[in-house]
Amino acid sequence: MLLKGKQATDFARKPKPSVWAVLAFGEDPGLASDAARALIQAWTPKGTSMDVTTLDDDSIRKDPSLLFDGLEAVSLLGDPRVIRVRTSGDKIAALLTEAIQKGDSRDGYYAARLVIEAGSLQKRSKLRAAAESAQNTACLQLFADDAGDIEQRVQAALKAEGVQITDDALAVFVGDLPGHRTLANSEIEKLSLYARGLERPVEVDDIRALSATDVDHNLSAAIRAALDGNPALVHNALDRLAVAGTSGISILRSLQFETLRMLDAQSRIAAGQSNPGMKLRPPVWQSEWGLFSARLRKWPTKRLMRVMERIYEAEQQAKSGSGSADPVIRVLMNEIARAAELAK
């Protein structure tokens, strides 16, 4: 059973009772993580706690029994159980497919429920195909928030604190949010904590003050500097991120998201849209379009695809090495900055 977009999000909040397993996937892993949390909350009966076991590709490949024994085991305390699997693609697709097919063979085959979080999955993905075809497994395809969705999330978070936000402040805050859902959630949480007890609407000056030393702004600065062709600024921003303890994989994820956004823009321009900024995720505001379009001229589609390839290569190199990922990230960001510097 395949559900997309809002239907998928709504299902995660209120899953069908007969569904025992869910595959949540999308280009932004943070979306799948949010869906998994919503599912676990929905599956947890009132007055009880959920016993959650989290597994990843490496742990399951090394010991597949962790997956199957975990699904079959019954909690000693009688609490409901969920096996939460985070996978980067089809590395363990055969094992997960086997689990889905067995669990769908009859009601109550496993004692625990299963939720699988994945990144982007193509239609030909074996894991996706298994989840789509299974009768009692839901396949949730999640899409990045548009500006309206993000604004609603910000307003809802502030409303819970009894605080409003001015329209200008909301536009500034949403425009500066990182595209990655997990990072965006963190920023919204920070804003909510800041607004607690403020006893007046949040204004533009509040947003600027809150963001003045923000790690995510250093992250955005590093990405922009690389794509604009400014190696010195890249290394300065990376130094600040290193001091803050930002992981190399987080930098790669942000670079990947911005590259995908630029590819989306190039595709829209090729289709005849002269200024598609507001249709991108997150949107490029009119005041920012000049700089963004100049960046696009440096990075045509073919070069952006090469950047995507280098991101995947750097991630594999960073994960396979025993030392710090920092040198790998610095080399990649410097290469991108030098290429943009030479671009006409």
Same-domain check for residues 225 and 338: yes
Which domain-ending residue is among 157, 177, 211? 211
- Tokens encoding 72: 């079959």
Q: Give the model confidence (pLDDT) of 60-99 as tens digits.
A: 989 999 999 989 887 656 678 899 999 876 778 899 999 9
Q: What's the rounded Cα separation, in Å, for the pair 58 and 319?
A: 11
Q: How would you label 284-300 residue by residue, b for 16+ Cβ within 10 Å and e otherwise?
A: beeeebeebeebbebbe
Same-domain check for residues 34 and 125: yes
Same-domain check for residues 286 and 193: no
The per-residue pLDDT for 177 is 65
Same-domain check for residues 14 and 99: yes
User: What range defines the domain where residue 186 resides?
Assistant: 147-211
Same-domain check for residues 172 and 79: no
Q: Model-level pTM? A: 0.54
Q: Give the model confidence (pLDDT) of 20-53 as tens digits.
A: 999 998 877 778 888 999 999 999 988 888 889 9
The per-residue pLDDT for 184 is 72
Q: Using CA of residue 185, residue 191, residue 197, residue 198, what is the dihedral sign?
A: negative
Which domain-ending residue is among 101, 125, 141? 141
The per-residue pLDDT for 213 is 44
Q: What's the rounded Cα separation, in Å, for the pair 21 and 157?
A: 29
Same-domain check for residues 10 and 58: yes
Q: Which of these, 120, 57, 125, lies nearest to 85 by C-alpha position?
A: 57
The per-residue pLDDT for 181 is 66
Could you write out the DSSP letters of every residue in 17-58? TT--EEEEE-SSHHHHHHHHHHHHHHHS-TT---EEEEEEHH
Q: Which domain CATH number covers 114?
A: 3.40.50.300
Same-domain check for residues 191 and 321: no
Q: Which of these, 119, 127, 121, lies nearest to 21 by C-alpha position?
A: 127
Same-domain check for residues 121 and 158: no
Q: Which domain CATH number covers 246?
A: 1.20.272.10
Same-domain check for residues 73 and 171: no
Q: What's the rounded Cα separation, in Å, for the pair 182 and 26?
A: 13
Q: Which domain CATH number covers 194?
A: 1.10.8
The per-residue pLDDT for 259 is 93
For the chain, the domain total comes to 3
Same-domain check for residues 333 and 234: yes
3 state DSSP class of 40? helix
Which domain-ending residue is among 211, 230, 255? 211
Same-domain check for residues 133 and 30: yes
- Tokens encoding 193: 């904590």
Q: Which residues of the chain carry a pLDDT beneath 70?
A: 75-78, 89, 145-148, 175-183, 211-217, 244, 320-324, 344
Q: What is the largest CA-CA distance in the chain?
A: 66
Q: Which of these, 230, 183, 174, lies nearest to 202 by C-alpha position?
A: 174
Same-domain check for residues 187 and 109: no
